[in-house]
Amino acid sequence: MAGQLVQVATNTVTSAVASVSLVGINSDDVYVLIYNNVAGSTGANGLLRFTESGTANSTSNYDEAYKTMRSTSAFGTHTATNGTSFIADWNVNAGTEGGTQNIHYIFNANNSSEYTFFTNEQTGWGVGSNGLMSFTGGGVFTVTSAVDGINYFMSSGDVDSGTFTLYKVV
């Protein structure tokens, strides 16, 4: 049956860690990273890098574009090129509002002749804005290499909690 999810890796964070890595991308299938209840120690942005041979690639090869939505202000647009990571989540709250939730579809990851693409669907409670925040969009990792996983970390401070799961779509 097409469209089933097969779990590849999972990690539940219950105490502060610098980052979370999930590896196991090893085919040309579409993969999906789903996480929820993610909170950081400082209310910083959640960032995402792709891994190659289990190591996060921090080169300036991450391009992204998002439409931002907030319950406390107008819609906005975010674009960036040649970054050292993707912004996966804006202002991840260190409070008790339930953290941030996200779904990322990952395409072409195992193909060393193509760029790796991803989509981003985030929602959470915004630090400082005291309101619902969400953004949708995606990005491209402009390196022709075989990506085998993801690395999630905060722009400052630690990842304090959350459940991260990587699936293969079959």
**pLDDT band of 131, cuts 50, 70, 90:** confident
Query: CA-CA distance, 41 to 156, in Å (whole number)?
Result: 8
Closest to 78 in 3D by CA, of 28, 138, 13: 138
Q: Over range 152-157, report the average pLDDT.
A: 94
Give the other-Cβ count within 10 Å of 75's Cβ.
9
Spans of all domains in the chain = 5-169
* Average pLDDT over every residue of 110-135: 83
Q: Does domain 5-169 have CATH number 2.60.40?
A: no
Q: Amino acid identity of 105?
A: Y
| pTM for the full predicted model | 0.92
Which tokens in the block code for residue 14? Answer: 């219950």
Nearest alpha carbon to residue 38 among 50, 56, 20:
20
pLDDT band at 1 (very low <50, low <70, confident <90, very high): very low
Q: Say if residue 146's pLDDT is above 70.
A: yes
Q: How far apart are CA 148 and CA 76, in angstroms?
A: 32
Beta strands, E only, 14-83: 19-23, 30-40, 46-52, 55-56, 62-70, 73-83
pLDDT at 43 over 80: no
User: What is the Cα–Cα distance from 54 to 149, expressed in whole angstroms?
Assistant: 7
pLDDT for the residue numbered 64: 97
Confidence of residue 63 (pLDDT cuts 50, 70, 90): very high
Please give the angle made by the CA atoms of 169, 22 and 111, to the nearest 5 degrees: 55
Pair 159, 40: CB distance under 8 Å:
yes
